[in-house]
Structure 1
Amino acid sequence: MELLAPAGNWESFIAAIENGADAVYLGGREFSARQYAANFEIEDIRKAVEYAHVRGKKVYITVNTLIDQTEFDAVLDFVFQLQESGVDALIIQDIGLMSVLRRVFPDLRLHASTQMTIHNVLGVRFLKENGFSRVVLARELTRQEIEAIREAVPDIEIEIFVHGALCYSYSGQCLFSSVVGGRSGNRGRCAQPCRLPYRLRSKEKGDYAQAGEYPLSPADLCLIQCLPDIKAAGVDSLKIEGRMKRAEYVATVTRVYRQALDRLEAGEDTVPQEMLEELAGIFNRTFTPGLWAGRGTGVLSPSRPNNRGIYIGRVLSQKADGFTSIRLTRSLRVGDGIEVWVRSGKNPATVVTHLEVQGQAVQEAGPGSVPVIPLSCRVAPGDRVFRTHDTVLVGRAAATMVENRPEGKVKIGAVVEVSRGEPLKITFRDKRGIKAQACTRSTAVPAETRPLSEQDIYEKVSRLGNTPFEIEDFKLFVEEPLIVPFSEINQARREAADQLRENILKLAKPPAIDRKEFTRRLNERAAKSSEWRFEKPARRTMLSVFAGRVDVARAALESGADRVYLDLEGLKGLKTSERVKVLELKQLAINKGHELVLALPRITGPLQEIPWDEIEEVGFEGVLAANPGLLLEARERGLTVFADYPLNTFNPEAARFWLEHGAENFCLSPELSSSQLKNWPQPELSWAEVLTHGDLILMISAYCPWKALGQGKEGKCERPCREDEFFLVDRKGYEFPVRADNHCRVYLFNSRTLCLIEELPELLELGIGTLRIEARLSPAQAVAETVLVYRQAIDGLIQGKPVRLASLKERLKKVALSDFSKIHYYRGVV
């Protein structure tokens, strides 16, 4: 299995390579999902590729943000330079970028980012069909689900995260940071609002007593003890999260996982306690195996959102001058950082600058001792003490972050041949069989006094200090006492080492195109784009409604909605009791000449079945697909497919891809602004659907906040989420509705209702094909009024009648669940 380590800067890159990573993933200054990391200039990337390739390692570049229409020229030029530099693969999210790259750089290896939310067999097949060589699976999958994917799709590489920070939401499906702060995770600028404090509030019972202030903050993933099972499951690559972490963290975690993999290879499948403590010592929010072992596992860490450190003892006493006695269970050293967990107030933290044991200043105090340290804050007997910075562990890591250090050099064999009348010949060969040769300019002649000894030649040939090589095996073939100038042996050694390096780099570099061919392909792409035509639909602007329940769908159809998406999750499947209601709804749609479409779940695990036969029997006009796997399956079954907004259609290239692959229309990303839409060409927008009003989902998660806060019970959940309506309340008092579906997936909604009633004239002028109302939370009566208002406004504007949008907005306010927001329509995201 490949060990894949992160690098947010050059120091971290060296830390990863020198501590045993097989590959490193890193990002450029733009188009990377970690825009707050230092990242790499293109020259740094070239240097990193050479450093890695000569050592038999690989470099993957993250181009894993959504790409705006105006950025394609820049991103394609960046990719040209990347492939020219010899990078081994790109990690991407944007389906539009994928479509273009497959045409312009067909030989470039693509890895599907976890931001693509690929979580089922159908999604992996979709990637395989579209040229991806690897998928980074969603972190919410269990071992059983990963095994099912591996068995069903054996000819694509599988990569999973094994260590580091987790997101509360499925990656690629989070709009929380985007909507609340304008900083989009899909654009690499997540502000991590999930790490902030929230209170769980019931509509009927008020605030719940809870086990922590941070119900959305996950613990850190740690699967080092699961490596044997991961290997058995057929996983190809183990990914460490951490491009925002310091280099010492990368060094430590990479080294420990390298050691664990080497132990596994040697037949040792257990992990010593000291290795686990090193992982915890460098950084932890407590550790979790995630959902690897199943969905009953606790994942969240609601007590604190930052580094917990390692427990090292308790406070015994504190004098008035602040000198504090601590009984230790682990060692404490001068230079360590500690934090004392007090019963109330902020936990004091400090760096240990002075340490006394029995009145004597010491550099280290061992387990069982009672050292005294100065503290500026008040603490109490019994308070727990945690080490948050281990100076020895960090120092050990720092010592490995050195380029060309001896321990990290490439081991090679050297053969030296010396014959009378012939130049001395040096041959270097690495373990892969790549070799290089160089000769002295002078020929060997008989020695008159002191001939060349084996030790002389070895000393000259093995001087490879500034190179990435180290001689492991040396052989000398000499026929008689001969001599060659030492200076020429040194020169031949340098030439052989340089040539070996060049030969290794040449063989490691993937195929690339030159600038002339790149320009030709760009021109070809531009010509094809200008020829692209999908006949503009011969219909008026439509009004659609996403309905969470049957009664809401009925209200929408009766009030004038042209199309209703009926949520399959809200139906609890298509069992007999629900089918009767759906058939009645279907007949209502037929009578009114409108469409009834089944909205498939956004998340459908590898072991979750979709009732396709029942869907076809009911006779829905089509299905709304929110993940690429379901879109692929529905298309193959001959069903009409509508592409939903969780597919992150952010640019015209993505829109064309979905239309060319059988979608009837596509719902645009809600992160797009009006100024961005004005850059879109027609007729693409005539096939577009825009979220115009309603309840916007900010996050979808596999992790239960009720359980994390002590409301759900392990293995015997009483489903508190079904007892009432719940909200998460932030520090400013904003209430975010939170709901759970039949598969215990959690949905967090925005605290404000989207409302673009006043923007309808501009949306119609843009030629948007469908305007959509999200009615996932609203009652049927409110939805009926909302649809009537939008129907009146749309029809009046199309017919050229005067429409009082402000008064219509007041009508909408009377039935809204919360205050209104235009979200990204004007501000967009960064």
Structure 2
Amino acid sequence: MQTLELLAPAKNLECGIAAIDHGADAVYIGAPRFGARAAAGNSLEDIRQLCDYAHQFGAKVHVTVNTIIYQDEMLDTLKMIQQLDEIGVDALLLQDMGVLTEVRAQNLWSRELHSSTQCDVRTPEKAYWLTTLGFKRIVLARELSLDEIKAIHQAIPDREIEVFVHGALCVSYSGVCYASEKCFGRSANRGECAQFCRMKFDLLDSNGQEIEHQRYLLSLKDLCQLDHLKDLADAGATSFKIEGRLKDINYVKNVVAAYSSQLDAIVKAEPRKYRRASVGHVQYNFTPNLKKTFNRGFTHYFLNGRQPDIASFDTPKAIGEFVGKVKEIRGNISFNVATVASFKNGDGLCFINDDRELEGFRVNRVEGNRLYPFGMPEHMRPGMALYRNNDRAFEALLARKSAERKIYIVIEMEPVMGNKFREEPQGVKAVVNIMKTKEADGGLIYQVAEVFKELKLEKAKRPQGENIKAQMSKLGDTIYEAYQVELLKGMETYFVPNSILTAIRRELIDELTKANQKQLDKSLWGGWDRTLFNNGFGFSQPGEHRLTKEEFTWQPEYGKWGYLYNIANYDARDFYQIHGLSPVVPAFELGKNIPSAWNAKTQEEYDENIEKDKANRSMQPKFTNERGESLLMQCRHCIRYSLGYCVKRGGKKPSWREPLFLQLGDGRRFRLEFACNECQMNLYSEK
């Protein structure tokens, strides 16, 4: 049976709890430091509380420590990782191979290691190699097709595969994007991306002639694979990841609810093939609608091959749902909309004007299909498409208690007649079982707890069945819901005071909570003895323990661009040297001048290796090519294709000559290389 996990983002503790409440099987959250979203760090105490809450439902908490780590940060990073292990975090996401080396060498982590999407996994070979390093789960690049995902699954059938299914898309393969660092000194590999790909560019030909003027040519729509979850599961994916560790709580509620409901439908249709990764059912107080929270328009990206409409060239902002067309404008006061949608005061609406710019406004008053904005938009014209990017009524629904998650239980009650000769007392025995789902196939997972209450049994004057069931079902604010109360051996014929029933119920729930946690600990952590892995804070100096070359096979994948390995500390340097990388080049963020992470000896080795490789200049690792350019992005998105000029795929033959350039408003230019054999677009900085 295949287990399906919905993995949701958590900006903070509140968002994490909301994700669990709305159906997530796991959440991922930023560590106090060193996560790929520097603005989304969380305290250890908040993460501990999130673990405690999630584990009640058998849900997991993954923590991201997925940036490159400088040498002077290594000890703090390792200490933090051990603290995360001690508070019950279930999985750790890593990018830096130096951190991986120390974590394994010092046994600092007792549970699952996941390779971050920052590891840039595009091929079965890369995925397999990462599993040999100890990663239980591989997070794939967003750009992959179903066939590519299948091929990776076939290469690592015993490991978990995690895929992104919803949210913002990076235009470059993750982990090898240096545009933000180059242009603004803010590294994506350090969690500080400045959103270079959401900026305006002119597109110029080789003569400097303008092909496109001030458009968002690198800005992609948002990913949405809601209708392809089963396809992804059949391809081998086990975890379905929602992007959005910077998104607000209403976004998390809506998106998680939509995807959880879809996964439930898949499980219900084929209960012998699929199951959810956690327990509990969710009652929603709203109908999820992905169009009603932040989106730039949706795309399936490359799941079924290259598609023409994956970009959002007119705006990088949220556009929302289409709600109709502007029909009639009355002066500077109001306008009429041709629509079947209803509106509320305070709704946020927007449109693309004739200059292909997004304009937005708030609705002040609504009279049927006639809207009175706070200020009439200057460039609105009849016939323009209108979108709603803030639905006041929907946001109000989400702001309330919008969902409740409960675990179904079955309670069995029976009288115990006792035996005075054997000194066995009379009383009532109550047993509780946890259910996976209320569908018959889900069944009872296990007998969780049992309580015996000593009591002199007396026959009731009238049947007590309904009262006993009602009292035992009063579970209040607990996470449990009595799906069924079964009365065995004539239990309904005995009188039991409500005070005794209340005491039995409370004791039973206490025992259930303890036993449930014990059982979930075993299932979450595989029954490992965590004490075997605890070694206090007796850290060795980084670099003393190394993985041996004999353990792994590896082939260099980035050719002459050595900085793409993101080597920022001694351990990462030694790791790649052991694996045969030569010469070893420091990370792009370091250049050649950061003494705390790249010492004189390393620089001397680097220079010596450059001399050795002069005989084969095509493979000489360095920061620039023969043009003096740096490779900043590798993209499957192709501007030429999106504009209709890919002759290889039936597009028009362009009149302009290459190379093409993207130009920022300040005049900085970036050369585009169309590597048609790989169907890839590369972006280079000019000298």
Give the gaps of 5 or more residues in structure 2. Answer: 271-285, 418-424, 436-444, 608-620
Alignment correspondent of 2:564: 646
- Tell me the CA shift for residue 206 of structure 1: 1.1
One-letter code aligned to 1:29: P
The answer to whether the 8 Å contact 1:169/1:700 transfers is yes
Alignment correspondent of 1:590: none
1:295–1:448 CA distance, 2 compared to 1 (3 A): closer
1:41 aligned to 2:58?
Answer: no
Q: What is the TM-score of this pair, normalised by structure 1? A: 0.69
C-alpha distance in structure 2 between counterparts of 1:721 and 1:141, whole Å: 32
1:70–1:486 CA distance, 2 compared to 1 (3 A): farther
C-alpha distance in structure 2 between counterparts of 1:743 and 1:115, whole Å: 21
1:437 aligned to 2:450?
Answer: yes
CA-atom RMSD in angstroms: 3.3
- Tell me the CA shift for residue 106 of structure 1: 5.7
The answer to whether the 8 Å contact 2:362/2:373 transfers is no
Alignment correspondent of 1:671: 589
The answer to whether the 8 Å contact 2:117/2:140 transfers is yes
**Range moving further from structure 2, 697-706 or 346-355:** 346-355
C-alpha distance in structure 2 between counterparts of 1:59 and 1:719, whole Å: 51
1:143 aligned to 2:146?
Answer: yes
- What are the superposed Cα offsets for residues 209-267 of structure 1, whole Å, 9 maximum, x if unpaired? 36x70000011111222233222212111111111112222222222222222333344
1:417–1:652 CA distance, 2 compared to 1 (3 A): same
1:7 aligned to 2:10?
Answer: yes
- Tell me the CA shift for residue 76 of structure 1: 1.9
- Tell me the CA shift for residue 109 of structure 1: 0.8
C-alpha distance in structure 2 between counterparts of 1:6 and 1:264, whole Å: 22
Alignment correspondent of 2:503: 491
C-alpha distance in structure 2 between counterparts of 1:321 and 1:738, whole Å: 45
C-alpha distance in structure 1 between counterparts of 2:534 and 2:601, whole Å: 30
1:743 aligned to 2:678?
Answer: yes
- Tell me the CA shift for residue 748 of structure 1: 1.4
Given the alignment, which residue of 421, 424, 429 partners 1:425?
A: 429
1:194–1:169 CA distance, 2 compared to 1 (3 A): same
1:506–1:236 CA distance, 2 compared to 1 (3 A): same
Secondary structure at the counterpart of residue 36 of structure 1:
helix
- Tell me the CA shift for residue 485 of structure 1: 5.3
One-letter code aligned to 1:287: F
1:288–1:733 CA distance, 2 compared to 1 (3 A): same
- Tell me the CA shift for residue 719 of structure 1: 7.2
The answer to whether the 8 Å contact 1:314/1:383 transfers is yes
C-alpha distance in structure 2 between counterparts of 1:417 and 1:502, whole Å: 22
C-alpha distance in structure 2 between counterparts of 1:745 and 1:398, whole Å: 43
1:532–1:428 CA distance, 2 compared to 1 (3 A): closer
- Where does 1:607-626 land on structure 2 (aligned, <5 Å)? none
C-alpha distance in structure 2 between counterparts of 1:531 and 1:471, whole Å: 53
Question: Equivalent pairs: percent with the same residue?
Answer: 31
Given the alignment, which residue of 701, 705, 708 partners 2:635?
A: 701
- Tell me the CA shift for residue 493 of structure 1: 2.4
1:673–1:434 CA distance, 2 compared to 1 (3 A): farther
Alignment correspondent of 1:93: 95
1:473–1:696 CA distance, 2 compared to 1 (3 A): same
One-letter code aligned to 1:397: L
- What are the superposed Cα offsets for residues 503-531 of structure 1, whole Å, 9 maximum, x if unpaired? 222333324645993237x44x43x8448
1:322 aligned to 2:327?
Answer: no
C-alpha distance in structure 2 between counterparts of 1:375 and 1:99, whole Å: 59
Secondary structure at the counterpart of residue 186 of structure 1:
helix
Alignment correspondent of 1:61: 63
1:389 aligned to 2:390?
Answer: yes
Secondary structure at the counterpart of residue 47 of structure 2:
helix
1:532–1:305 CA distance, 2 compared to 1 (3 A): closer
One-letter code aligned to 1:375: G
More helix by share: 1
- Tell me the CA shift for residue 728 of structure 1: 0.7
One-letter code aligned to 2:95: Q
C-alpha distance in structure 2 between counterparts of 1:86 and 1:506, whole Å: 13
- Where does 1:166-315 land on structure 2 (aligned, <5 Å)? 166-204=169-207, 206-209=209-212, 213-267=215-269, 278-315=289-326
One-letter code aligned to 1:743: E
Which structure is larger by alpha-carbon Rg, 1 or 2?
1
Given the alignment, which residue of 569, 572, 579 partners 1:661?
A: 579
1:223–1:700 CA distance, 2 compared to 1 (3 A): same
C-alpha distance in structure 2 between counterparts of 1:107 and 1:721, whole Å: 60
- Tell me the CA shift for residue 663 of structure 1: 3.0
The answer to whether the 8 Å contact 1:218/1:299 transfers is yes
Alignment correspondent of 1:518: 535
Given the alignment, which residue of 20, 27, 30 partners 1:27?
A: 30
C-alpha distance in structure 2 between counterparts of 1:14 and 1:517, whole Å: 28
The answer to whether the 8 Å contact 1:5/1:23 transfers is yes
Alignment correspondent of 2:661: 727
1:680–1:439 CA distance, 2 compared to 1 (3 A): farther
One-letter code aligned to 2:67: T
C-alpha distance in structure 2 between counterparts of 1:150 and 1:223, whole Å: 19
The answer to whether the 8 Å contact 1:434/1:504 transfers is no
**Range moving further from structure 2, 722-731 or 235-244:** 722-731
Secondary structure at the counterpart of residue 199 of structure 1:
strand
- What are the superposed Cα offsets for residues 143-202 of structure 1, whole Å, 9 maximum, x if unpaired? 221112222221211111111111011000011111211211111111111101001111
- What are the superposed Cα offsets for residues 288-322 of structure 1, whole Å, 9 maximum, x if unpaired? 11111113544222111111112222223333342
The answer to whether the 8 Å contact 2:644/2:651 transfers is no
Secondary structure at the counterpart of residue 409 of structure 1:
strand
Given the alignment, which residue of 460, 463, 466 partners 2:477?
A: 466
C-alpha distance in structure 1 between counterparts of 2:220 and 2:669, whole Å: 21
